[in-house]
Amino acid sequence: MANTHPTREEDFDLYALGALGGDEKREFESHIASCSACTEKFAAAQGRIALLALAAPPAVPSAVVKQQLMRSIQESPKKAIQVAPRIAKDPARQTPGEKERSQGFFGHWWAAVLAPVGIAFAIATIFLWTQNRSLDKQLTAMRASLDIQQHELSDAREVADLMHSSDTMTVALASMPGMPKGSAHVMYNAKMGMLMYDGKIDPAPADKSYQLWIVPMKGDPISAGVFKAVQGEPNHWMMKLPEGVQPKVFAVTMEPAGGMPQPTGPKVLVGTV
């Protein structure tokens, strides 16, 4: 690795964690000192390690972990005694072989300790990222649900205002002879420009639609909704219309599928104001 690029990408992360030791560390430092490409990779590795450290949630060891650690220390006193002199020995008095063994021991020890820590940080980061995505989806769904609820609440308030206003008129619509059977009523408030239709009527042919009209005192009929009828099921809707329109007749006609700009078909339900 002395005269070539490091062959292992993980060396950058291990060095940033302080987990390289011995010849590996010296060769790595010698190389990145003269290689701008590897210097940039090392800077990126430092950034990753910093992010992992910030992303990891604080963890407090449980009492069980502490008990296991103390028991492990008590069960291996001899190993601790044998290791202690090697750790405490003055580096200046160590032989070259002892120094190499000491550096190798600490290098591998730190690698063994910090590598799992890095993996744990990475897992924690992925977990937090996944949780954030899940929370974003839940928040989006909640906002959509809130919008629907607010719309429904607004509709309910408009219905209540329409029904309780002294300016609202209610007109019953009856079926015409020879036409599909049904009945309906219309609530209309000229000042609010609001209309509500409720009724049941036999279905029209497949190529036909029903269309509700306001026939004003002056001017052409105004379309107030196109609908399909299902046997036994009611039709209900509210519609905003121009304010101030004074009706004289409400009528439901049978029109080509999709409705027409002006009535062309027979009157099916009619109610006079």
| Digit-coded pLDDT (tens) for 12-39 | 777 777 777 788 888 888 888 888 888 8
Q: What is the C-alpha to C-alpha distance for residues 130 and 126, in angstroms, rounded to an integer?
A: 6
CB 234 within 8 A of CB 200: yes
Q: Residue 247: enclosing H or E segment and its boundaries? A: strand 247-256
Q: Residues 209-249: pLDDT tens digits?
A: 999 999 999 999 999 999 999 998 999 999 998 888 999 99
Give the model's pLDDT for residue 140.
85
**Those residues with Cβ within 8 angstroms of residue 220's Cβ, 6 or more apart along the chain or in another chain:** 262
Neighbours of 236 (CB within 10 A): 11
On the 0-12 / 13-18 / 19+ scale of CB atoms within 10 A, 142 is exposed
Give the model's pLDDT for residue 113.
54
Closest CA relative to residue 2, chosen from 31, 32, 38: 31
Tokens 């910090």 map to which residue?
114
Per CATH, which fold does 169-272 belong to? Immunoglobulin-like (2.60.40)
Q: What is the C-alpha to C-alpha distance for residues 195 and 213, in angstroms, rounded to an integer?
A: 11
The amino acid at residue 192 is M
Closest CA relative to residue 266, chosen from 179, 172, 173, 184: 179
Q: Where are the domains of the chain?
A: 10-126, 169-272
Q: What is the C-alpha to C-alpha distance for residues 114 and 117, in angstroms, rounded to an integer?
A: 5
Compute φ and ψ for 105, nearest 5 degrees: -60, -50
Give the model's pLDDT for residue 148.
87
Q: Is the dihedral of CA 42, 47, 52, 54 positive or negative?
A: positive
Q: What is the C-alpha to C-alpha distance for residues 233 and 160, in angstroms, rounded to an integer?
A: 23
Positions of the chain with pLDDT lower than 70, given as ranges: 1-7, 49-124, 126-127
Give the model's pLDDT for residue 130.
73
pTM: 0.48
Give the model's pLDDT for residue 85.
44
Q: What is the C-alpha to C-alpha distance for residues 249 and 270, in angstroms, rounded to an integer?
A: 7
DSSP string, 171-231: EEEEEPTTSPPEEEEEEEETTTTEEEEEEEEPPPPTTEEEEEEEEESSSS-EEEEEE---T
Give the 3-state DSSP-derived string for 103-166, with helices as H, strands as E and coil as C. HHHHHHHHHHHHHHHHHHHHHHHHHHHHHHHHHHHHHHHHHHHHHHHHHHHHHHHHHHHHHHCC
